[in-house]
Amino acid sequence: MLIKHVKNSEVKPSEITSKSIFLNRRKFLQTAAIAGGISLLPKVITSSCASTRTKFLNVKTTSFAEVEKLTTYEGLSSYNNFYEFGTGKTDPARNAHTLKPEPWAIEISGLATKIGKFHLDDLIKPHQLEERIYRLRCVEAWSMVIPWVGIPLVDIIKRFEPNSKAKFVAFETLVDKEQMPGQKSRSLDWPYVEGLRMDEAINPLTLLAVGVYGERMPNQNGAPIRLVVPWKYGFKSIKSIVKISFVEKEPPTTWNIQAPSEYGFYSNVNPNIDHPRWSQKRERRITGEGGLSAIFMPKIETQFMNGYADEVAELYKGMDLKKFF
Ligand code: MTE
C-alpha cells in the first residue's frame, strides 16, 4: 500500500489569473510553464470567491478545443447533478462544502501487473495536466461547454499494465455519509459506480479531470478527480473517484441498476434514440450567463455522439445501437 501525504506549496495571489484574462490564457500558460512545477493541489484563495480555489500553473493546451462559447465558471458550478449532495440541481453547490478532497487516495485493483492504493499526487503529476474543451451533454437534455483540466485516462491505464483478461474498467465514488450527506438517503444505491469497455477507456478522448477553467475541480463538479467521456451522456462521468478496477465482465453502472429500461451500459449520446420518457433530439445549452435563468435558453440540435463521432464511432462498428443503448 502506498499513501504519501504531500505538503502543499503556497502560490502567491499575484500568480492567479482572473476570469477576465482567461481568454488571454494561451499567453499566460506559456509564462506559467516557465515558472515551473507546483504540487497538484496547492492552496490559493481567490479574491472573487470566499471559498478556497486553486489554480494550476502549468497546464498544457491541446488541440481539443471548441469554437463554441464556454459555459461560465459560475454556470458550471451552480447547476449540477451529484446525488451524494442532494437530488436538486442547486443542492450540490450548496452542500458539497462538506467534501474533503485532500488528502485523496485512489485504489487501483483487478487484472493488472501493478495494483495498490495511491495518493492522488503520486498518480497524476502537474506537468501531465492539459486543458481540453469538451461539451458535456446530460441525459436530461441540457449541455455545457467546459474547459476541463486533466490527463488522458489511457496514461494511467498504461502505467498499471492491465492484462489481456481485463476487458472493462470499473469506477467507484467515495462512500462517506459525513462528507456526502446525500448518502444518508436511498436516492441511489451507494457507491455510485460506472464502467467503460477497455477500448473506450483507452480512447484518447477519455479524460480523468482534476479541474475546470485552470482551477482545481469545484467540489460540486466531482473534486478532486472525475471522469469525462465527451461522447457519452453526462452520467457516465463519475465524480470523486476512489477506486478504478480492471475487470473481465461488464461492470454494474448506477443508472442502469436504477432504471435498466431507461439507461444502458453504453449511453452514447444519440439524437436518434429517444429516452423512453422524452426526446433526445435537442438540448438546452447552459451558458451560465444570466444565472440559472439560462436554463430557459432555446434548444439546439443534439449531435450524434455529442459531435465526437469522427473520433469514436469506429468503436461501435457493427453494433446495433438500439440494443446497446
Ligand atoms: N457522479 C456521482 N458520483 N454522483 C452523481 O450523482 N451524476 C452524474 C455525473 N456523475 C453523478 C455523477 C450525472 S447524472 C451528470 S449529468 C454529471 O455527473 C453532471 O456533471 P456536472 O454536475 O459537473 O455537470
Please name the residue whose Cα sits nearest to atom 23 of ligand 1. Answer: 221
Please name the residue whose Cα sits nearest to atom 19 of ligand 1. Answer: 81
Mean pLDDT, residues 68-96 = 96
**C-alpha cell, 174:** 467515495
Within 10 Å of residue 200's Cβ, how many Cβ atoms?
A: 22
Please name the residue whose Cα sits nearest to atom 12 of ligand 1. Answer: 238
Please name the residue whose Cα sits nearest to atom 10 of ligand 1. Answer: 238
Return d(Cα 40, Cα 55) in angstroms, integer. Answer: 9
What 8-state DSSP symbol labels residue 157? Answer: H
The terminus-to-terminus CA distance of the chain in angstroms comes to: 38
What 8-state DSSP symbol labels residue 111? Answer: S
Query: Length of the chain, please?
Result: 325
Quick one: the chain helix, strand, coil %, rounded to 5?
25, 25, 50
Please name the residue whose Cα sits nearest to atom 24 of ligand 1. Answer: 80
Question: Of all atoms in ligand 1, which is nearest to the CA of residue 233?
Answer: 16
Question: Of all atoms in ligand 1, which is nearest to the CA of residue 139?
Answer: 16
Mean pLDDT, residues 210-216 = 96
pLDDT score of 36 more than 80: no
Higher pLDDT, 47 or 175: 175
Domains and CATH numbers, the chain: 13-316 (3.90.420.10)
Report pLDDT for 30.
32
pLDDT score of 2 more than 80: no
Q: Report yes or no: 105 and 118 within 8 Å, Cβ to Cβ.
A: yes
> Is 82 close to ligand 1, i.e. is its CB under 6 Å away?
yes
Q: Report yes or no: 199 and 180 within 8 Å, Cβ to Cβ.
A: no
Return d(Cα 224, Cα 4) in angstroms, integer. Answer: 16
* Position 289 confidence tier, pLDDT thresholds 50, 70, 90: confident
* Position 20 confidence tier, pLDDT thresholds 50, 70, 90: very low
pLDDT score of 103 more than 70: yes
**Among candidates 259, 280, 254, which has minimal Cα distance to 268?**
280
Return d(Cα 166, Cα 147) in angstroms, integer. Answer: 31
Mean pLDDT, residues 162-169 = 98
* Position 44 confidence tier, pLDDT thresholds 50, 70, 90: very low
Report pLDDT for 13.
26
Q: Report yes or no: 86 and 95 within 8 Å, Cβ to Cβ.
A: yes
Per-residue pLDDT tens digits for 121-152 = 999 999 999 999 999 999 999 999 999 999 99
**C-alpha cell, 14:** 499575484
Return d(Cα 50, Cα 75) in angstroms, integer. Answer: 17
Q: Report yes or no: 41 and 61 within 8 Å, Cβ to Cβ.
A: no
| Residue 237 CA to ligand 1 centre (angstroms) | 6
Return d(Cα 127, Cα 115) in angstroms, integer. Answer: 23
**Among candidates 247, 274, 250, which has minimal Cα distance to 115?**
247
Question: Of all atoms in ligand 1, which is nearest to the CA of residue 76?
Answer: 24
Q: Report yes or no: 199 and 311 within 8 Å, Cβ to Cβ.
A: no
